Amino acid sequence: VAPTAEVQLASLKATCPRKAIYEAVQTVGHAVSGRSALPILSHILIRAEENGLRLIATDLELGISCYIPAQVQEAGALTAPARTLTEVLGNLPDKSDVAISVDKSHTTRVNCEKSDYKILGLPADEYPQLPEVRDTVSFTIPQSVMRSLIRQTRFAVGTDEARPILTGILMVFDGETLKFVATDTHRLAVKSTKVTQGNGSQNVIVPARAMNELTRLLTSDEGNVEVRLSGNQIMFILPGENQVQIVSRL
């Protein structure tokens, strides 16, 4: 993961429903690092996008981003500690709007009805940027099928960190067929399916953690998941207005 090339900095000011931003923080929070030597990896990046906010978290191995509609008064970006931000938003009234902003000292301000919080953050331009994953090799698959592939193979994934190659699921894609394979050398699980929309072919091993996070976020049986493979990265793009994206190192 490379450092952010450019993040537009200003006194970010935006207003959004408390429920939307709280759920978004919980969604991306699973990618926050709890034991990193880089303090900024314990933070969540919030940046303005067209008609909304994009929340991003990464530990340099796994990254999750999520979009929420918002009224943006001033474009910009901020970071705030994930744990503190989650606790603050969790204590706010459910059916209310939250105003969030940041000043030049990187202090995030959260206002909601009679509540006013100040949270010390870090410079947004120091936050790592999620890697770009091109669609040179890509395919789409129904959410229900992807969930079935993962659930019927992940039980056989190895847990021995001394053999890291067994701690993931082998994904074999030949342009028409997708096969998942997992083994801990004592048991073997294989599951295949046809893919109607695919481009290219590639064999990769996806960490079990990324697959578990994907399963957690597959909340509906409707819509398709887009999968992109590029270099040593994989991206899952989920359907829905929140535009959830999961990026993992292979």
Q: Which residue has the tokens 């969540």?
A: 44
pLDDT at 3: 42
pTM of the prediction?
A: 0.89
Average pLDDT of the residues in 126-131 = 92
**Among 2-6, 83-87, 182-186, the least confident range:** 2-6
Residue 9 pLDDT grade (very low, low, confident, very high; cuts 50, 70, 90):
low
Site of tokens 């990187």: 106
Confidence of residue 11 (pLDDT cuts 50, 70, 90): confident
Beta strands 233-237 and 245-249: pairing type? Answer: antiparallel
Residue 224 has pLDDT above 90, yes or no: yes
Query: What is the tens place of the pLDDT at every residue in 14-23?
Result: 999 999 999 9
The residues that bridge with 97 in the sheet, in sequence order, are: 17
Task: Determine the pLDDT at residue 84.
Answer: 94
Tell me how crowded residue 247 is: count the other CB atoms within 10 A of its CB.
24
Instruction: With a cut of 60, say whether residue 8 has pLDDT above it.
Output: no
Per-residue pLDDT, 4: 43
pLDDT band at residue 169, thresholds of 50, 70 and 90? very high
Lowest mean pLDDT among 8-12, 96-100, 187-191: 8-12
Four-residue CA torsion sign, 29, 30, 32, 33: positive
For residue 105, is pLDDT > 60?
yes
Q: Which of 51, 33, 236, 247 is nearest to 150 (CA)?
A: 236
Gap between the Cα atoms of 44 and 180, Å rounded: 32
3-state secondary structure the chain: CCECCCCCCCCCEEEEEHHHHHHHHHHHHHHCCCCCCCHHHHEEEEEEECCEEEEEEECCCEEEEEEEECEEEECCEEEEEHHHHHHHHHCCCCCCEEEEEECCCCEEEEEECCEEEEEECCCHHHCECCCCCCCCEEEEEEHHHHHHHHHCCHHHCCCCCCCHHHCEEEEEECCCEEEEEEECCCCEEEEEEECCEEECCEEEEEEHHHHHHHHHHCCCCCCEEEEEEECCEEEEECCCCCCCEEEEEC
How far apart, in Å, are the Cα atoms of 206 and each of 93, 105, 116?
39, 39, 42
